[in-house]
Amino acid sequence: MKHFFFTPGLCLAVALLCFLTSPAPARADAPQRWAGTSTITFAGTSTLHDWSGTVAAAPFTTLVTLNASNQPESLKATVQVKATDMDTQEPKRDENMRKAMKVLEYPLITANLDAPFSRIIPAPGKEPATLPFKLSLVGKTHDVTGTISHWELNGDTATFDLDFDLSMKKCGISVPSVLLVIRVGDVVKVHAQVKLVRKQA
């Protein structure tokens, strides 16, 4: 029986950081560096039962650029996930998933963030609610907007959750039905728990 699910690499929402912390003085255009880690879960449905899996992103760095007033102007980051590391605790299902995602040809799922703060902050003084980024997988790049929640900041460490939905059809992933009866749902829900730690100069 074939089962499939898919998870992209997660991305980050460091836009929150410089508004909720007191950054050390820095010259204009000098980027701050934050070390990031993330654990990702992905889940979907089928006519037989629901399914889910997990994967960890490779450690990443986020750059936050400050202006002459020491306020954040933009942020950049690249987050990668190895497609072969996606795990659903069911070997046959994982094997079929990797075939469908062509992991030998496309071994990495990559999220690229390069956004001005004006695209992230909904209004002055309010915590960012969304994070736009580009997600590349199976040879295609997609514009994605994630929702940020559970933001916490303790000293130089920030944590938050990032959620977004993906369509396997739009991502170019085809999952055959089983016996023409059991079908996998098109939408995959992705949830990333992100941790960011400010690097000392």
pTM as predicted: 0.78
Q: How far apart are the first and last CA of the chain?
A: 53
Confidence of residue 54 (pLDDT cuts 50, 70, 90): very high
Per-residue pLDDT tens for 172-194?
887 766 544 567 788 999 999 99
**What average pLDDT does range 49-53 have in this prediction?**
89
Average pLDDT, the chain: 79
Nearest to 63 by CA among 91, 35, 85: 35
The pLDDT assigned to 114 comes to 87
pLDDT of 14 above 90: no
Q: Which residue has the higher pLDDT, 133 or 7?
A: 133
Whether residue 96 is predicted with pLDDT greater than 60 in this model: the reply is: yes
Q: Place 6 in a pLDDT band, splitting at 50, 70 and 90.
A: very low
pLDDT, position 126: 59
- Please state, in angstroms and rounded to a whole number, the distance separating the CA atoms of residues 189 and 113: 20
Confidence of residue 112 (pLDDT cuts 50, 70, 90): very high
Does residue 143 contact residue 132 with C-beta atoms inside 8 Å?
Answer: yes
**Does the pLDDT at position 19 exceed 90?**
no
Complete DSSP assignment for the chain: -------PPP---GGGHHHHS-PPP--TT-EEEEEEEEEEEEEE-BSS--EEEEEEPPPEEEEEEE-TTS-EEEEEEEEEEEGGG-B-S-HHHHHHHHHHTTTTT--EEEEEEEEEGGGT-SSTTSPP-EEEEEEEETTEEEEEEEEEEEEEEETTEEEEEEEEEEETTTTT-----BTTTB-B-SEEEEEEEEEEEEPP-
Confidence band of 162 (pLDDT split at 50, 70, 90): very high
Architecture per CATH, 14-198 = Beta Barrel (2.40)
pLDDT the model gives residue 153: 75
